[in-house]
Structure 1
Amino acid sequence: MTLTTIKDGEYTATVYKMIKDGQYGEAIHILSNELQKQMKSRAALSLLGYCYYHMQDFTNAAECYEQLTQLHPEVEEYKLYYAQSLYGACAYPEAMKATFLLDNPTSHTKMIKLQASIKYGEEEYSGAKTLVEQLPQDDPDYDVDMGCLLYKEGEYEEACKKFMSAMQVLGYQPELSYNIGLCYYSMKQYGQALKFIGEIIERGIREHPELSVGMTTEGIDVRSVGNTLILHETALIEGFNLKAAIEYQLKNCDAAQEALTDMPPRSEEELDPVTLHNQALMNMDKKPSEGFEKLAFLLQQIPFPPVTFGNLLLLYCKYEYFDLAADVMAENAHLTYKFLTPYLYEFLDAMLTCQTAPEEAFRKFDEMNAKLTDQLRKLTKQ
C-alpha cells in the first residue's frame, strides 16, 4: 500500500515526517482533529486510512477507505485498499463483495489474488485453488499461493518445495522463511525448522533494533512496539511462536517460555491470538486461572488457533474442572466436529462420563483401548 497523491488538501510537513518516521499514532491524532473540521477531506481520510493500515488497525482503515470510495469512486486505488482492509479485518464476505468493485483491467490480477486470499481465509480451499490457477505460472505469487494450499492439504514436502522456489525468484523474505520453517515443523524436522527461524530472528535484530527483541527477557523495561506493518513484515512474532512450539514439543519448557518473552514487546490487548494461546499454555503450571481466562477469551474471537478448543477441554480435565469442560462442549457443539479428532472427542466424552456413570465410562475406554490395540497390531505387521 502506498500513499496516493493528494491534490485537495495540504498538511504540515510535521504530519508527513511523522508518517515517514513510523509515528502513526501521533499522525492519527492530528488527522482525526483535522477531520472534525473537514469531514469530507480527501487528504485527511487518505492519510488516516494509510496510518491505520500500517498500524494493522484494519477496521478503522476500512472505514476511511469506504468513505473515500463513496466520495471519489473514480479512484481505483481506494477500492483496492478498501477490499484489502476488510480482508485484514477478517470481514471476508464484505471483502469479497468489495473486490467486485475493482472493474479496471489493471486491477484484475490483484483482484484474483485478493479473492483467493479471502477464500483461503474462509477455509474454502478448493475455491481458492481455482482462483490461484487463473494466475500466470510465472507470477511470483503463484508458487507462494500453491504452497499455502498444499500445506493445508497436508502435503508439507511439496509445499516446502514451492516456498523454496518462490524464495529463489523473490529473494529472501521473512514470511517465506517462516513458511518453510513451518513445513519442516509439521514434518517434525525441528533442526531444519529452527535454522529458518534463526535467520528470521537474526535479520530482525540486525535490521530493526527499534523492535527491542529480547529486551523483556533481559529484564529491561521497554514500551510496546505496537502492531505495525513493519513488525508484521519481519515475521518475528510468527518466528518466535514457532520457536516456542518447537521447544515445547522437545520438552524444553524454559526455552519455550523464553522464546515468548524474547519477541518484540506489546501490551496484552495488542497480542495476536497465537501468542495469547501459547502464553496461556506455557504458563499454565504457574498461572492456571490466567491461562483458562485467556483460552476461554480466545474461543469468543474470530479467528482463533484451531488447537484452542481441544487444549481448553483437556486442561479443564487435567485440573479436574469437569463441569466446566462439559459446559464448554455443550455450548460449542458446532466446534467439536471441526476442531476435535474422533479419538480426542471419544477420550473427552469418556472422561466426562466418568463423573456421572463410571461403568459406562469404563466401557468407552475399553472400546478405545481395543481400537488402539488393533491399530498397533496392524502397525507391527507392517
Structure 2
Amino acid sequence: MTFKQSDALARVQPSATLAVTQKARDLKARGVDVISLGAGEPDFDTPDHVKQAAIEAIKAGKTKYTAVDGIPELKAAIVAKFERENGLNYSAAQVSVAPGGKPIIYNALVATLNPGDEVLFPAPYWVSYPEMVRLCGGEPKVIRAGIETGFKITPAQLEAAITPRTKWFIFNSPSNPTGAGYTSEEIRGLTDVLLRHPQVMIMTDDMYEHIVYDGYEFATVAQVEPRLYDRTLTTNGVSKAFAMTGWRIGYAAGPEGLIAAMRKVISQTTSNACSISQWAAVAALEGPMDFIKDRNTAFKRRRDLVLADINAADGLTAPTPEGAFYIFAECSGWIGKTTPDAVKLETDIDVCNALLGEQAVAAVPGTAFGGSPCFRISYATDDASLKEAGMRIKRFAENLS
C-alpha cells in the first residue's frame, strides 16, 4: 500500500530551522567543523533553582496526570506574572498551559479557524505561523516589512490588509527572525487600527519579552490598549528567558471562552504538559530573575560582534535588533554572484547552501521566514564560535565573483 498524506498536510512545509539544524548535526557527525547558527535556543543552562524544583517534584511523586491545561500552582504563578510584569489582570480560568509555545498557538488556531478565515502577521515571520494556519484550514496573509523600516509594519499597512474574512492578527515582538522590537508608541498605532475592526482577534507572541537591549522597553498589546483585552490572547513561555527549551512549557491568557475551547482541544490531543516541567516552571516564574540581566549582557556583546562582521562583509547589511538573539542579514548584494565552487547564487537558499558547503557555517534562508533575499543567524552560542563564523562569512563574501 502506498502512503498518501492528507490534503491538509500537503499544504504544509517542514520547519526550515529544524532542517538546517539537523543538516549541521549530520555534517558534524561526519567530522566537518560546522558552526551551527540555525537553532533558536539559548546556550545557557537552566537555572539551578529551577532544576532543583524539578528534582523535588520527582522526589515528592508529582509524576501523575494533571489538569489538562495546567496545575493550579502554575496557573497562579502565570496570573501573578502577568499582573506583576505586564499590568494585566487574569483569573486562573483565563490561563492555558501546553507542552510548548507551538501547541499554545496551534490550539488557539484550531479552536477558532474555519475554512477561508484569514490570519494576518508581519513578514518576516516565525516559520511556523503560516504552516499552522494552513493545517487548521485557514489562509495565511502576510504584511511585508522591509529592512528600510527595521522590519516593522506600519498602521497603514495593517489597515490595508484587514478584510471581512480576517479572524486573527498575530504579533511577535521582539521578533523571530529579525529581533525587531516595537515601542509602545508603535504598538499604539497598530491598536488604533485594530479597534476599528472588532471581528479581528489578536494573538501576541511574547516569547522574547525578557531578551532586550539598549534600554528597549517591552510592551504587549492588551497592556498598551486595554480596550482590546477581551479579544487578545497573550502568549508566552519559559523556553527562551529561562533556557528551558527542552522542558516544553508554553502558556497564554485571554478570553475565558477561548481558553475553554483550547482546553477542549488539549483534552483530545496532547493532554497535560509534563508534570515535572510544570513544577519547574512555577519555580522559574516565582523565583529570582537577576540572572537574565547577566545573560542579556552576554547576548548584547554577541549581537554587536556578529552585527559588526555582517555589516563589514561586502554585499551584506542588517539593522540593529532591539531584542531576541537573531540577526536577519539582507544579502541582495550576493545574488547573481558565483562562488569558487562555481555555484551561482540565485536565491537566499542558494546562499545558505553554499555558505554551509564552502565555509561550514549553517544559517537559515530568509525565504523560510517570508523575507527574501536574507538569512537568519542565531547568536545564542559562544563568542569564539561567533568570531570564527564572522571570519568565514567575510571570507565567503571576498571569494564571490
TM-score for both structures, normalised by structure 2: 0.26
Larger-gyration structure (1/2): 1
Higher helix share: 1
